[in-house]
Amino acid sequence: MSRATTRAARELAELVLLRGATLLRADSLEEIATLGADGLWRTPDGAITDAIGLPKPEAAAVVHPAARAAAHRDQDTAWLEQALDVVRELARQHRHLTVDDCWANVGTPPRDPRQLSGLMVAAQKQGLIQKSSAHRPSTRPTNGGRSVRVWRSLTYRGGP
């Protein structure tokens, strides 16, 4: 593709390439139609056509990968701070807790469910909870009853 064609492809909604007697989509090089020796245009499946309809392109944001990664980092940091407040309160109120308790009490779910592991490690580093050797079946339907770790509160303020 020439530099002018590449620039036009970025600026136009849809670009068609003319290659001899063949029309191609510029983005995928998919054949749209071919001009036969009889002067008739044919689709790739052989149907004769005198018009070509191209779908209207939909608007889509173009985001640089570095900008996306930075936005995810900022979002994840904000979520972790909010979720740590929830764990802090759970640890004050309960002797033991699991990630199921966190899922039930965190208002906004994380961008990636695996962030719950990072939340529990961060809470441990802050001295809120400590790993125990106990496990129990998860109460969340998406977990299919798999075992989850039971964490012991280090800040429990309840009764005996």
Between 66 and 3, name the one with better pLDDT. 66
Length of the chain: 160
Q: For residue 8, is pLDDT > 90?
A: no
Give me the pLDDT at residue 9, please: 47
What are the strands, taking DSSP E only, across 26-155? 31-35, 41-42, 48-49, 96-97, 129-137, 147-153
Domain boundaries, the chain: 3-49, 65-153
- The closest of 129, 127, 120, 126 to 99, measured between CA atoms, is 120
- CA dist 54 and 20 (Å) reads 20
Contacts of 18 (CB under 8 A, 6+ apart): none
What pTM did the predictor assign?
A: 0.61
Mean pLDDT lowest among 51-60, 62-71, 96-105, 133-142: 51-60
Positive or negative, the Cα torsion across 92, 98, 101, 102? positive
- CA dist 3 and 11 (Å) reads 12
- CA dist 102 and 86 (Å) reads 7
Q: Which CATH architecture has domain 65-153?
A: Orthogonal Bundle (1.10)
Structure confidence by residue, pLDDT tens digits, 31-63: 989 999 999 999 899 999 888 776 677 777 888
Contacts of 54 (CB under 8 A, 6+ apart): 14, 16, 32
Q: For residue 19, is pLDDT > 70?
A: yes
Cross-strand partners of 151: 97, 131
